[in-house]
Chains A and B, each alone.
Chain A
Amino acid sequence: MANILIAEDESAINELIKRNLQLVGHRCVSVFDGECAVYELQGHSYDLVILDIMLPEIDGFDILRKSGETPTILLTARNSLNDRIKGFSLGADDYLTKPFEMLELLARVEAVLRRTKKDTDQFTLEAVRVDFDSRQVFLGGLLADLTPKEYELMEVLIVNRNIALSRDKLLELVWGYDFEGDSRTVDVHIQKLRKKLGWEKKIKTIYKLGYRLEVNP
């Protein structure tokens, strides 16, 4: 759960980012030009800024200079090396080029937040409490016994909650590219996870697609 400022002048894309981030439980504020972005950054404290470089009034690089300590992910259609280097040298934490995939955006946001957030990172869903720092899972106060792969699968599902993940995507994210097993492996692990955490209703099977951890935002 983080406060995120989205500065992007294309309203369609701004809305898209906002909806995606809200799905995984972040609070979002949208601004459509540079001046508003600077105003928001000065008046409020944000955990992360998603910043388009080409903004009206004040461009992204200038905002980056003024934003100070706020973690920033730059978002742009320009994929030139110079722009990326300039962005990083001005203190950007990550860089995302259009067009981007939803999962990539969420993964980068999650990574930056985990790097920069100081308070302990926890996730609670009914009787389950996950402590990401110590990689421990508690079920009704008792330590649940998860294998490393089960833990990683659960983590991926939590990070991308409310978003369907295909079996191939899960294989890639949890087992890595070079894993040579088939998608049955995913099904087996999902079954175990459901049983161990009592998530039979929470982890939904999406027809023709994969699995989704559904959490009310």
Chain B
Amino acid sequence: MKRRTFLTTLILFLACFYAGILVISTTTYRDTVRRAKEQCAGEHYFIVSGFVKDVAALHSRGVDYTQSLDGLMRPYGLLAKNQNASLMLYDDGQRVYSNMSGSGGHTLRELKDDNRLVYADKAENKTYMEVIGRLPEPYDRFIVVYRSDISAIISAWERMKNTLFASGLILSCFLALCLLFLLERLFRPLSEISRTSQRIASGNFRDTRLVVSGNDELTEMARSFNHMADEIQCQMAELTAAAQNRQLFIDNFAHELRTPLTAIYGYAEYIQKAVTTEDDRQFAIECILMESSRIQNMAGQLMELASLRSDQIHMKVLAVPELFNAVGRTMQPRAAEKEVCLRFLCELATLRGDANLLESLLINLIDNGIKACETEGKITVCAAMQEKNPVITVSDNGKGMPGELLDQITEPYYRIEKSRGRRDGGAGLGLAICKQIALQHGGELSFSSHPGKGTTATIIFTTP
């Protein structure tokens, strides 16, 4: 690209430049020749008019002027010599006078209709301007030839032309160098960009950015390039995170599935192969049933999560007290079982949403609260308006959790305890389902928690 630009620009420039020089030199040449012509014609006219007067004077006195033509012409010949020209007189085609120096002969061109002919003539490496003119009547048998040597003028023009071309050559070289330098400067950001994009293509996103300086189009481009790189890096990070999440989900899912399967397989094998009593067999069968129902439970929740992600929900205007009553009926017995005090505070009359889903959301959150509570547990469910948005909060005074874990708890199968113990029950999908329900309602589910003090779950319905 750089090379092509260089060559094109140089060729274009040189063509224009030399065309200019050519035009100038031709014009100058024509001008020079025209002026020489005029000058020669003027001289010729002057000589002819002088000579005619002389001849006319002799003729009027009755002298035979044909005999003294040579004498008559001599002063004019000297005059012409001074002008670096030679003078010739022809009488009826016969040369009667000539002061032409050198041995070179001269042939008279024929005059046709005109009385005067001016032309340039080359002979012996010299250029001559010749004026051939017939004398006016009655002396029209005479022809005066004025032959001026214009070689000096022509060579002066040639010198000028040569100087022009020589300086043109030097200028072209200079221009080529300047052009190279300029293009190098112009193309440097481009090669910088190509190097950077190669580095980015090879996967080095971090610290690979263009230097943004100045305030021209290239800076603008560098800025948008950097922006593009940022965006790509951002999206790559998102994709990687998504892939990691997916992998984590699969790993967790495999684990969740494997544990009950191990138990089911193991107990079945135990019944089949081992020496067992009736009690042993009953125990094994109970284990198999329990673990099977756990898998069934998990499958159900997975289905719920999947259908929540794909289905549109039916939003209706709901009475919040009714919703709370329904939730209370389900949860109060469970709360009482663990001696947890469950209270509902309702400052909100209505809410748009799907009754079943919201119920399931609240039940899940309260259930988590009950599990977190130990002695003297208190759970408060509160519905109110906050900054024009309906908000439902579920707060408990249970064991709480460290703040840095709050982002992860809504991931499917995430468990705070590494062992993934399930003594509290649940398949690990509860909060993932809650989050999905909140999203489907155009809301946001967030948590705040202090270890030892309790956890508060907040659902803000941002879209009415």
Chain A residues with CB under 8 A of B258? 77, 98-99
Chain A residues with CB under 8 A of B304? none
Whether B274 lies near A162 (C-beta < 8 A) is: yes
Contact A12/B421 with A98-B258, A102-B269, A164-B273 known, Cβ cut-off 8 Å: no
Segment touching B, from A54-62, A146-154, A191-199: A54-62
Segment touching B, from A13-21, A108-116, A172-180: A13-21
Contact A13/B255 with A19-B280, A23-B275 known, Cβ cut-off 8 Å: no
Whether B275 lies near A10 (C-beta < 8 A) is: no
Chain B residue with Cβ nearest A22: B274
**Which residues of B are at the interface with A, using a C-beta cutoff of 8 A?**
251, 254-255, 258-259, 261-263, 265-267, 269-270, 272-275, 280, 283, 287, 290-291, 417-423
Contact of B419 among A15, A55, A165, A212 (CB under 8 A): A55
Contact A13/B263 with A54-B419, A78-B255 known, Cβ cut-off 8 Å: yes
Smallest CB separation, A6 vs chain B (Å): 13
Q: A58–B418 Cα gap in the complex (Å)?
A: 9
Q: A57–B261 Cα gap in the complex (Å)?
A: 25
Whether A13 lies near B266 (C-beta < 8 A) is: yes
Chain B residue with Cβ nearest A16: B266
Chain A residues with CB under 8 A of B419? 9, 33, 54-57, 59
Q: A15–B417 Cα gap in the complex (Å)?
A: 22
Q: A99–B270 Cα gap in the complex (Å)?
A: 14
Smallest CB separation, A13 vs chain B (Å): 5
Q: A77–B253 Cα gap in the complex (Å)?
A: 11
Smallest CB separation, A51 vs chain B (Å): 12
Chain A residues with CB under 8 A of B287? 12, 15-16
Contact A9/B421 with A98-B262, A100-B262, A102-B266 known, Cβ cut-off 8 Å: yes
Q: A15–B291 Cα gap in the complex (Å)?
A: 13
Chain A residue with Cβ nearest B257: A77
Q: Is A93 an interface residue (CB 8 A)?
A: no
Chain A residue with Cβ nearest B275: A162
Q: A9–B269 Cα gap in the complex (Å)?
A: 21
Whether B275 lies near A19 (C-beta < 8 A) is: no
Q: Is A143 an interface residue (CB 8 A)?
A: no
Whether A12 lies near B263 (C-beta < 8 A) is: yes
Q: Which residues of A39-67 are within 8 A (CB) of B?
A: 54-57, 59
Chain A residues with CB under 8 A of B269? 101-102
Chain B residues with CB under 8 A of A209? 272-273
Q: A78–B421 Cα gap in the complex (Å)?
A: 15
Whether A98 lies near B259 (C-beta < 8 A) is: yes
Q: A56–B420 Cα gap in the complex (Å)?
A: 8
Q: Is A139 an interface residue (CB 8 A)?
A: no
Q: Is A159 an interface residue (CB 8 A)?
A: no
Chain A residue with Cβ nearest B255: A77
Whether B261 lies near A16 (C-beta < 8 A) is: no
